[in-house]
Amino acid sequence: MKNLSRRNFLQLGGLGILGAASAYNPLGNLMIARAQSEITLQTWGSFITTNNALLEGALATWAATNDASVNINFTGFDALADTLSTAAATGAGPDAIMMLHARPHQFSEALVDVSDIVNEIGDANSGWFGVAEEACMVDGVWRSVPFFVAAHAMVYREDLFAEVGFDAFPETYDDLLVAGTALKEMGMPLGFSLGRADGDGNNFVFSVLWSFGGAVTDADDNIVLDSAETRMALEYVQQLYNDAMDPNVATWDDGANNRAYLAGEVSCTNNASSILWAGRRDGVDFIESTNHALYPAGPAGRNQFGQVHSFGILNSSENIDATKEMLSFINSDTVWQLLGADGFAFLYPLFRSLEDDESMAWNAEPKLGAFKGLAEDVHTHGWPGSPSAAASQVASDFVLSDMFGSVAVGAASIDEAIATAVEQIEDIYGA
């Protein structure tokens, strides 16, 4: 079992988390009977390291009072995807694992039905945001426990946008092109990944496609990518790339936009709150001119992709009941009052009850105010059609990122890029 340090033990005790466990050794060596359940949890390791420590400490406390031990493995997004693929193929893996986006649909046959605890958590917390159901419910069954959406916004330099005549962030993509063109002329282009970036890249291309009225599938799950709306979106991104963007975006990975912004190479990108957090940590000289704004609206309105994080229990687990209890605890007010306040708006709970809580970062920090409410309006893979294993694979195979990127750099015409993408999508959907 992960032992609490004296400092973390006292911090958690002061916040009322230890409860009955406070009678144990104050040095943190929690003396319990031999654990009956040995739970392994693989989860994403936050860039906010204190968040990892808080989760680890809270789970050690939970384990101490529940005849259990919890072994947490903090990893990156790629490792989570690899573990899921391996577990689905071999039937072996951790008891619980964090999943991104609509992957509960992609790996549903390897996951336990968790409807009982998801319904209990939702009932106790004013219900779930719609995107939680989109991502985690498969054919009427909750296959994953919603945890948080990594709220995304436009991250931009207020000082530089003001220099080109924009005292507020552009409301529309057309106005963003105007601002970006002027910013590129002054040597500070925009930076939105058109490479194979699972988080920020997919977030950008899906959001743009939807906001121009395009989609992979319609509400009846027909493949509709080949459309006038998709062509408008591609024409727009091609012009944005040529006139307003850093040319390197075509090869950016998920961390490249953060690095470029913090190095003072771009004036704007799409991201969660991690850029502002890292800039303050590292003392970047211009960081306090950074702010956040909603994504712009397109001809079809403002439609944004949401990066959902959830926990699935693998059906190979020998500790299903104990793991369910642990995941219920992770979604309790006790834990969220710690993680949400410390998480700098990156962790936005997928239930509704804490949205107006004064301790949550989006209510406490003015520069994070743009994140508030985003969980209400975002969508996951497959929208406006059904989330599905196929919809998830379209994103994990970077079909749209490749389509937009190839047009932007001139490697394919719009017709060629759409035809290639449609062929890949038809193969994935078995059409």
124 burial type by CB count under 10 A (0-12 exposed, 13-18 middle, 19+ buried) = middle
Report the distance separating Cα 244 and Cα 312, nearest Å.
Answer: 41
Tell me, what's the pLDDT at 406?
A: 98
Given a cut of 90, is residue 325 above it in pLDDT?
yes
Tell me, what's the pLDDT at 286?
A: 97
Report the distance separating Cα 341 and Cα 350, nearest Å.
Answer: 15
Residues in the chain: 431
Contacts of residue 19, defined as CB under 8 A and 6 or more positions apart, other chains included, come to 61, 65
Q: Average of pLDDT values for 69-78?
A: 92
CA angle (150 as vertex; 145, 155 as ends), nearest 5:
175
Given a cut of 90, is residue 356 above it in pLDDT?
yes
Given a cut of 80, is residue 8 above it in pLDDT?
no
Tell me, what's the pLDDT at 389?
A: 86
- Alpha-carbon torsion 366, 368, 371, 373, what sign? negative
This prediction has a pTM of 0.85
Check whether the bond before 299 is cis (ω within 30° of 0): no
- Alpha-carbon torsion 9, 343, 125, 55, what sign? negative
Q: Average of pLDDT values for 206-230?
A: 97
Tell me, what's the pLDDT at 36?
A: 76
269 burial type by CB count under 10 A (0-12 exposed, 13-18 middle, 19+ buried) = buried
Phi then psi for 103, rounded to 5 degrees?
-65, -25
Q: Confidence band (pLDDT; 50, 70, 90) for 91? A: confident
Q: Average of pLDDT values for 89-93?
A: 89
pLDDT digits (tens, 9 = 90+) for 139-156: 999 999 999 998 899 999
CA angle (186 as vertex; 181, 189 as ends), nearest 5:
55
In the predicted model, what is the mean pLDDT of the chain? Answer: 90
Task: List Cβ<8 Å contacts ≥24 apart for 222-226.
Answer: 222/385, 223/422, 223/425, 223/426, 223/429, 223/431, 225/418, 225/421, 225/422, 225/425, 226/418, 226/419, 226/422
